[in-house]
């Protein structure tokens, strides 16, 4: 038995987050990933509550899991129904899992106001439900809903609900901070009182409404609980659940609890990103441990420090959780940022050389004109390479012109007003000047089409490059439509993605700069990696 059991409820509690809707196939894939991570229990859903969850359990029983035990979730029996006739309990038996979790009331006001029954009857409901499932050969976790609010309102009754579940044979009583408002000191005090009063294994299930779910989970472990429940990336209703992606490394690396192996821990970032992708949600760059910015360094003093001693500004080695350090380049950077970043890109610079200082000054000057390289690594790499004396660009812009025309179409279009865009581009490839034109459904699309048309003869691989995101930000709101704008373009060749930036008071020019950088970056990377 591990010192602390990890119980994942992403597929049920996490799926209650706004914007998340897992298909059965999604849930099966995530279950496999959680198994690879080494999670001990995966709560698959609530069989009987909806057809999807019921079907999931009928398919999940065929999964070959190496570590995880599948858990079905449900509720104690209805107050006016015998256990043998309760549809919810029968659905749990039909799910064919070895472990079930049932939720019951531990707050006296919920018993009287929500269940509309007596406190004594609620204790019978808990005991009979646990006993019935145990008599059918199942391991039973009792989820004491609203426990900490209940403990504050009526500590004696809250403890009685725990005792009722324990006496009926519950394998673990999980104390749930359902409203997410408990403080760490309150969690520790309540757990301490239970351990003195009832001999039963305890778990903790935290919500993040007070932004304390992870802290409360760690305090719960330090107070003696043996099971921690949470979700990947903290997904969940309202403000979310306790984030297992923060809890797991804290348990293993900070508290020395071997809840999973080091090899499994190194998959944490991968699992976090995988679940976000399946959920179709953008992962926050600023998530601890697994976010892209979790080990990002921007200040020149910080980068100078980590170049001499990596631990100077990192609380752990990022590789332990499958992440990596990242240096951000901006006007706040020092020469160390430039040297470190260049080294990552295979460009050798020295902090004492003139090149690093010149590039830093160039970045500061460009950022004063609206460019920003924090989120545009591809444009920064091009800036570095263009500073090398032997760099030869794959193409050079001679000039471009964009015409936007609004006119009425033929009567067949119902007299509808139509806006057409046409771009003319001249580019130089080696010693040839290529002059092309193309139409598009907007000026940027027309520029893109014209540039490709001219370059595909020389670089047919550009056909795989597509623009996947396009953002425009106004930098000087007081100037209105004459404002400086920054354009950030994200491109992909189907395998990798990269971002480029352009800035100008002319949105077309800003777009062109970012677009041309995108294509140039693709061509030089393909050339350097082939």
DSSP string over 247-315: HHHIIIIIS---SS-HHHHTTHHHHHHHHHHHHT-PPPTT-TTTSTTTTEE-SHHHHHHHHH-GGGG-S
The pLDDT of residue 325 is above 80: no
Q: Which of 33-47, 349-363, 440-454, 511-525 has the lowest mean pLDDT?
A: 349-363
411-419 average pLDDT score: 63
Confidence of residue 411 (pLDDT cuts 50, 70, 90): low
Q: Which of 243-247, 372-376, 472-476, 478-482 has the lowest mean pLDDT?
A: 478-482
Closest CA to 157 of 206, 121, 188: 121
The pLDDT of residue 255 is above 80: yes
- Beta strand residue intervals within 389-513, DSSP E: 396-408, 417-429, 432-440, 466-474, 485-492, 497-504
75-96 average pLDDT score: 95
Contact assessment for residue 301 and residue 335, using Cβ atoms and an 8 Å cutoff: no
Give the separation between CA 215 and CA 247, rounded to whole angstroms. Answer: 9
- The per-residue pLDDT of the chain, averaged, comes to 87
- Beta strand residue intervals within 153-193, DSSP E: 172-177
Give the separation between CA 163 and CA 126, rounded to whole angstroms. Answer: 10
The pLDDT of residue 305 is above 90: no
Closest CA to 458 of 502, 394, 366, 378: 394
473-493 average pLDDT score: 75
Contact assessment for residue 44 and residue 92, using Cβ atoms and an 8 Å cutoff: no
Give the separation between CA 344 and CA 129, rounded to whole angstroms. Answer: 59
Q: Which of 219-228, 241-250, 357-366 has the lowest mean pLDDT?
A: 357-366
430-444 average pLDDT score: 89
Query: How are the residues of the chain apportioned to helix, strand and coil, as percentages rounded to the nearest 5?
Result: 45, 20, 35
Confidence of residue 468 (pLDDT cuts 50, 70, 90): confident
Which residues touch 98 (CB under 8 Å, ≥6 apart)? Answer: 69, 70, 138, 139
The pLDDT of residue 310 is above 50: yes
Give the separation between CA 198 and CA 313, rounded to whole angstroms. Answer: 44
In angstroms, what CA-CA distances link 404 with 362, 410, 418, 442, 508? 34, 18, 10, 8, 11
Element (H, E) at 509: helix 507-529
Contact assessment for residue 45 and residue 27, using Cβ atoms and an 8 Å cutoff: yes
Confidence of residue 484 (pLDDT cuts 50, 70, 90): confident
436-440 average pLDDT score: 91
Confidence of residue 335 (pLDDT cuts 50, 70, 90): low
452-479 average pLDDT score: 84
165: left (phi over 0), alpha (psi -120 to 50) or beta: alpha
The pLDDT of residue 141 is above 90: yes
382-387 average pLDDT score: 83
Closest CA to 394 of 440, 437, 434, 343: 434
Per the model's pLDDT, the better-predicted residue between 211 and 383 turns out to be 211
Confidence of residue 107 (pLDDT cuts 50, 70, 90): very high
Closest CA to 471 of 497, 502, 509, 448: 502
Q: Which two tokens stand for residue 410?
A: 């033929």
Q: What's the chain's length in residues?
A: 530
Confidence of residue 432 (pLDDT cuts 50, 70, 90): very high
391-398 average pLDDT score: 90
Residue 420 is predicted with a pLDDT of 82
Closest CA to 55 of 43, 45, 64: 45
Confidence of residue 530 (pLDDT cuts 50, 70, 90): very low
pTM over 0.85: no
**74-78 — which CB contacts under 8 Å span 24+ positions?**
74/46, 74/47, 74/48, 74/100, 74/101, 74/102, 74/103, 75/102, 75/103, 75/104, 76/102, 76/103, 76/104, 76/125, 76/126, 76/129, 76/130, 77/125, 77/128, 77/129, 77/132
Contact assessment for residue 79 and residue 68, using Cβ atoms and an 8 Å cutoff: no
Give the separation between CA 114 and CA 152, rounded to whole angstroms. Answer: 18
Give the number of C-alpha atoms closer than 13 A to the C-alpha of residue 330, restricted to the C-beta side. Answer: 11
Per the model's pLDDT, the better-predicted residue between 293 and 2 turns out to be 293
Give the separation between CA 326 and CA 324, rounded to whole angstroms. Answer: 6
């Amino acid at each position: 038995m591990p010192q602390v059991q990890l119980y994942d409820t992403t597929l049920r509690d996490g799926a209650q987050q706004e914007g998340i809707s897992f298909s059965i196939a999604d849930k099966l894939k995530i279950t496999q990933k959680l198994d690879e991570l080494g999670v001990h229990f995966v709560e698959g859903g609530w069989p009987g509550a909806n057809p999807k969850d019921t079907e999931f359990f009928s398919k999940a029983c065929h999964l070959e899991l190496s570590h995880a035990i599948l858990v079905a979730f449900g509720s104690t029996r209805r107050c006016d129904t015998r256990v043998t006739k309760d549809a919810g309990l029968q659905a749990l038996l039909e799910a064919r899992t070895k472990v079930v979790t049932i939720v019951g009331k531990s707050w006296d006001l919920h018993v009287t106001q929500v269940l509309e029954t007596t406190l004594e009857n609620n204790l019978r409901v808990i005991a009979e439900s646990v006993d019935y499932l145990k008599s059918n050969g199942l391991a039973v976790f009792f989820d004491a809903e609203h426990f900490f609010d209940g403990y504050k309102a009526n500590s004696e009754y809250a403890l009685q609900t725990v005792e009722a579940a324990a006496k009926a044979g519950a394998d673990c009583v999980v104390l749930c901070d359902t409203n997410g408002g408990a403080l760490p000191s309150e969690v520790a005090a309540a757990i301490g009182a239970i351990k003195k009063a009832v001999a039963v294994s305890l778990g903790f299930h935290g919500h993040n409404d007070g932004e304390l779910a992870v802290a409360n989970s760690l305090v719960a472990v330090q107070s003696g609980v043996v099971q921690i429940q949470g979700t990947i990336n903290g997904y969940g209703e309202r403000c979310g659940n306790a984030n297992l992606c923060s809890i797991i490394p804290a348990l293993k690396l900070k508290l020395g609890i071997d809840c999973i192996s080091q090899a499994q821990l190194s998959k944490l970032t991968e699992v976090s990103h995988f679940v976000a992708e399946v959920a179709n949600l953008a992962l926050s760059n600023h998530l601890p441990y697994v976010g892209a910015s979790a080990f990002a360094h921007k200040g020149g003093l910080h980068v100078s420090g980590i170049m001499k001693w990596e631990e100077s500004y990192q609380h752990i080695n990022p590789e332990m959780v499958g992440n990596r350090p990242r240096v951000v380049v901006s006007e706040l950077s020092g020469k160390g940022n430039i040297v470190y970043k260049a080294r990552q890109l295979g460009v050798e610079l020295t902090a004492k050389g003139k090149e690093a200082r010149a590039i830093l000054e160039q970045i500061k000057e460009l950022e004063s004109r609206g460019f920003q390289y924090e989120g545009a690594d591809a444009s920064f790499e091009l800036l570095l390479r263009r500073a090398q004396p032997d760099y030869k660009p794959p193409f050079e812009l001679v000039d471009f012109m964009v015409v936007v025309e609004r006119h009425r179409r033929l009567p067949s279009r119902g007299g509808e007003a139509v806006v057409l865009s046409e771009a003319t581009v001249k580019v130089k490839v080696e010693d040839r000047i290529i002059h092309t034109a193309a139409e598009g459904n907007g000026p940027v699309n027309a520029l893109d089409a014209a540039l490709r048309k001219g370059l595909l003869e020389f670089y047919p691989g550009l056909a795989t490059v597509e623009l996947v995101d396009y953002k425009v930000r106004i930098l000087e709101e007081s100037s209105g439509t004459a404002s400086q704008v920054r354009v950030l373009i994200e491109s992909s060749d189907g395998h990798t993605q990269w971002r480029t930036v352009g800035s100008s008071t002319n949105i077309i020019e800003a777009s062109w700069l970012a677009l041309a950088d995108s294509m140039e970056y693709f061509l030089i990377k393909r050339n350097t990696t082939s």
